[in-house]
Amino acid sequence: AQSVAQPEDQVNVAEGNPLTVKCTYSVSGNPYLFWYVQYPNRGLQFLLKYITGDNLVKGSYGFEAEFNKSQTSFHLKKPSALVSDSALYFCAVRLPRGITGGGNKLTFGTGTQLKVEL
Partner 1 sequence: DGGITQSPKYLFRKEGQNVTLSCEQNLNHDAMYWYRQDPGQGLRLIYYSQIVNDFQKGDIAEGYSVSREKKESFPLTVTSAQKNPTAFYLCASSDRVAVGETQYFGPGTRLLVL
Indicate which single residue of 12, 18, 28, 46 sits in contact with partner 1 (rule: CB under 8 A).
46
Q: Is the distance from CB of 63 to CB of 48 less than 8 angstroms?
A: yes
Nearest distance from C-beta of residue 96 to partner 1, angstroms: 9
Indicate which single residue of 43, 54, 100, 118 sits in contact with partner 1 (rule: CB under 8 A).
43
Q: Amino acid identity, residue 59?
A: G
Indicate which single residue of 36, 63, 74, 89 sits in contact with partner 1 (rule: CB under 8 A).
36
Residues that bind partner 1 (CB under 8 A): 9, 32, 34, 36, 41-46, 49, 51, 90, 94, 97, 104-106, 108-111
